[in-house]
Homo-oligomer: A and B are copies of this chain.
Amino acid sequence: MADTPFPVLGILGGGQLGRMTALAAIRMGVGIRTLSPSPAGPVEGLGEALVGDWTDPDVLRAFAEGCSAITVESEWAPAEKLLPVLPKGVRLFPTPQTLELIRHKGVQKTTLAQAGLPVAAFELCKTLAEAQDAAERLGLPVILKRYEGSYDGYGNASARSLEDFALHWDSLAGDDGLLVEAFVPFRQELSVLVVRSDGGEMVCYPPAYTEQRDHRCHAVVVPANISAVTRDRALEVARAAAEAVQSVGVLGVELFETQDGAVLLNELAPRPHNTGHYTIEGSHTSQFENHARAVLGWPLGNPGLRVPVAVMINILGYRSAPVSSTSLPTALDIPGAAVHLYGKREARPRRKMGHVTVTGTDPEEVRRLAEAAASAIKL
């Protein structure tokens, strides 16, 4: 075999997902180059952190030159602008086509429904009147979803009456309207991470139980407390979703388990996902390593748990201020707490600043420790 130098992985974006992907790749000897539109604490000091206008072809060309493969850490990173300047042989995953299918929630839902996958009833509505008509058909309450740019509860609203529509329409509707979705009275929210290679090989992490607070991921518990039938169905649906959007790398698949144990697809994220942070400590191969492997064209690793139970709790900012390490020792004193802080320079209320993972055997004890450590940190 011919000698091949160690690859350089390019990451478009400078947040915590890029940071943790970089750390996993560095461990395998991979070089890192990031590009973000403004100085970004999480990736500073990891490889070569470029800052520039990531829509500028010259900036993108300089970034891509010398990379072996490029990925994004957000579905909003302008990967499609790389295509015209991408040097021959440089891999780019997920593809801009996959990102396009996922960015627009109307296109995403339609793609999944057309693939025969279970989703809540929905309609794409161009006008307020169309949306109100749709709500009559779907039955109130319904969820109104902005097509593009929504995340963590921003860009969604529930409407309990037709009057609610007028309240939300202006802030949520784009030129092409918005998505009206039937409300699903679910038992619990689940997440499955699928890793897919460009050859179509797939591995799945076990379904995780995810708990939101104020529309934001608060806790993830693995394995989820579900029946074998629900587990198998969740994995089947997640794999089919990855096929439907032809993802390469990690696809975060958010699911509802309904009251009767059925599974509905909620939303997709074509990148490492907050519900997979526990994999750094809990799994044989982390989601970040597997994302890097898939993007680089390397074999996928074992997504199985190395531990009986893992719990991840997010650390959110509580004020607007430069970060302070004052509270960190209290958290580190909690036995077994793996504390991850993302290197963001400024805290803001509810900003994701870090997370804590604890592993063990007793789910209640593990959760108690993880909550204690996460809540001890005041950023």
A residues whose Cβ falls under 8 Å from a Cβ of B: 1-7, 23, 26-29, 31-32, 45-48, 281, 284-285, 293, 298-299, 301-302, 304, 306-307, 321-329, 332-333, 335-343, 354, 359-360
Contact = CB atoms under 8 A, between A and B. Distances in A.
Contact of A29 (B3, B31, B48, B341): B341
A336 B284 contact: yes
A2 B326 contact: yes
B29 A323 contact: yes
Contacts of A340: 27-28
Contact of A338 (B2, B48, B284, B339): B284
B32 A325 contact: no
Most B CB within 10 A of own CB, among A1, A2, A29: A29
A329 B299 contact: yes
A359 B284 contact: yes
B28 A45 contact: no
Contacts of A29: 323, 325, 328, 341-343, 354
B304 A336 contact: yes
A6 B332 contact: no
Contact of A321 (B3, B6, B328): B3
Contact of A32 (B3, B45, B329): B45
Contact of A1 (B2, B48, B327, B343): B327
A325 B4 contact: yes
B32 A23 contact: no
Contacts of A336: 284-285, 301-302, 304, 306
B284 A335 contact: yes
Nearest to A341: B29
A5 B284 contact: no
Contact of A341 (B2, B28, B285): B28
A306 B23 contact: no
A33 to B, nearest CB: 9
Contact of A46 (B3, B46, B306): B46
Contact of A332 (B2, B26, B293, B335): B293
Given A6-B324, A29-B325, A299-B329, 9 more contacts: A1-B327, A3-B322, A6-B325, A23-B23, A27-B341, A28-B328, A29-B323, A29-B343, A306-B307
Nearest to A286: B338
Contacts of A333: 299
Nearest to A342: B29
A27 to B, nearest CB: 6
B4 A343 contact: no
A329 B298 contact: yes
B325 A26 contact: no
Contacts of A284: 335-336, 338, 359
Nearest to A27: B340
7 contacts: A1-B327, A26-B46, A27-B338, A28-B328, A32-B45, A306-B307, A307-B307
A376 to B, nearest CB: 11
A307 B299 CA distance: 24
B324 A5 contact: yes
B6 A323 contact: yes
Nearest to A361: B306
A194 to B, nearest CB: 18
A293 B336 CA distance: 14
Contacts of A302: 335-336
Contact of A7 (B5, B46, B325, B335): B325
A354 B30 CA distance: 13
A362 to B, nearest CB: 13
Contacts of A359: 284, 306
